[in-house]
Amino acid sequence: MNEASTLDGPARDHNSVDPYDIEAVRADFPILDREVYGQPLVYLDNAASAQKPRPVLDAIEHAYTHSYANVHRGVHRLSQEATDLFEEARVDVARFINAEKADEIVFTRGGTEAMNLVVASYGRNFLQAGDEVIISTLEHHSNIVPWQLLRDQIGIVIKVVPIDDDGNFDLDAYHDLLSDRTKFVSVTQMSNALGKITPIKAVIDAAHRRGVPVMVDGCQAVTHLSTDVRALDADFYVFSGHKLYGPTGVGALYGKFELLDKMPPYQGGGEMISSVSFEKSIYKKPPHRFEAGTPAIAQVIGFGAAIRYLEGLGMARIAAYEAEVVDYAHEQLGAVPGLTIFGSRDNKASIVSFIMECAHAHDIGTIVDRAGVAVRTGHHCAQPLMERLGVAATARASFGLYNTKSEVDSLVAALRQVEEIFA
Alpha-carbon gap, residue 16 to 251, rounded angstroms: 29
Spell out the residues 6+ positions from residue 21 whose beta carbon is closer than 8 angstroms to its own.
Answer: none
96: which strand partners? none
What residues have CB less than 8 Å from 340, skipping those under 6 apart?
354, 355, 356, 357
- How many whole angstroms separate alpha carbon 167 and alpha carbon 169? 7
Catalytic residue among 154, 316, 381, 412: 381
Strands (E), 309-401: 339-342, 351-356, 373-374, 376-378, 394-398
Return the HEC string of 21-52: CHHHHHHCCHHHHCEECCEECEECECCCCCCC
In terms of Cα–Cα distance, which of 326, 341, 299 is closest to 400?
Answer: 326
For strands 132-136 and 105-108, give the pairing: unpaired
- Per the annotation, the verdict on 381 as an active-site residue is yes
Q: How many residues are there in the chain?
A: 423
What positions carry a catalytic annotation?
381
